[in-house]
């Protein structure tokens, strides 16, 4: 019988977007676009920051008249959406990797078990978004589409489509409501 295990860490930082041959005008660029019904970029690649950062608006609630409440750049609630209020919402690259391998041998038989995992990262679950928007019936809907978020039901016909879309983003980035629009 033998056991082996590994624990690895992962960090990164973008050092430069320019070199002797190519020069950029900005120290960042946007990438990772979503599809319909919400078409926007999901990542900002920026010099001095880690690669893989999700970037967008953080929504903290919904008003009674159907407007999103955003967190502004200073952390205060705001009903106005401006590009400067977008922030890093998480990172899609794992901070840690772990693995374990066990081999058991008996006579002419051997059994090998391998387990591995990645930890400390966020997932942009866009398929879940598509299956939770009640306003668009083009996709199958998950039962979680009927869960209330901010005390508002996504299936309520009096709730505007924008709120239904906001509700679907409720757990887009692992539990905290974040909107990347």
Q: What is the pLDDT of residue 149?
A: 61
Tokens in use for 88? 């890093």
Give pTM, 2 decimals.
Answer: 0.68
Mean of pLDDT values over 3-29: 93
Mean of pLDDT values over 118-133: 76
Contact status, residue 62 vs residue 29, Cβ threshold 8 Å: no
Tens of pLDDT, residue by residue over 99-119, are 999 999 999 999 999 999 999
Burial class (CB in 10 A: 0-12, 13-18, 19+), 153: middle
- Residue 169 — pLDDT band, cuts 50, 70, 90? very low
Cα–Cα distances in angstroms (integers) from residue 10 to residues 40, 98, 119, in the given order: 28, 11, 10
pLDDT of residue 173 exceeding 60: no
> What percentage of residues in the chain have a pLDDT greater than 90?
40
Tens of pLDDT, residue by residue over 87-96, are 888 899 999 9
Mean of pLDDT values over 33-41: 73
The residue that leads in pLDDT, 174 or 2, is: 2
Residue 163 CA to residue 170 CA, distance in Å, equals 11
Q: What is the pLDDT of residue 6?
A: 94
* Chain mean pLDDT for the chain: 77
pLDDT of residue 16 exceeding 70: yes
């Amino acid at each position: 019988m033998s056991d082996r295990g590994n624990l690895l860490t992962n960090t990164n930082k973008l050092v430069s977007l320019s070199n002797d041959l190519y020069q950029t005008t900005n120290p960042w660029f946007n990438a990772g676009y979503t599809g319909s019904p919400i078409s926007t970029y999901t990542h900002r690649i920026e010099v001095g920051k880690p690669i893989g950062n999700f970037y967008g608006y953080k929504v903290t609630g919904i008003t009674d008249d159907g407007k999103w409440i955003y967190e502004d750049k200073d952390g205060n609630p705001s009903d106005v959406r401006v590009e400067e209020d977008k922030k890093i919402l998480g990172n899609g690259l794992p901070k840690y990797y772990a693995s374990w391998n066990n081999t058991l041998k008996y006579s002419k038989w051997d059994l090998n078990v391998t387990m591995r995992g990645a930890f400390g990262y966020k997932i942009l679950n866009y398929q879940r978004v598509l299956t939770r928007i009640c306003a668009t019936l083009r996709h199958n809907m998950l039962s979680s589409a009927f869960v209330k978020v901010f005390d508002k039901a996504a299936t309520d016909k009096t709730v505007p489509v924008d709120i239904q879309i906001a509700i679907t983003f409720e757990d887009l980035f692992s539990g905290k409501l974040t909107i990347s629009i």
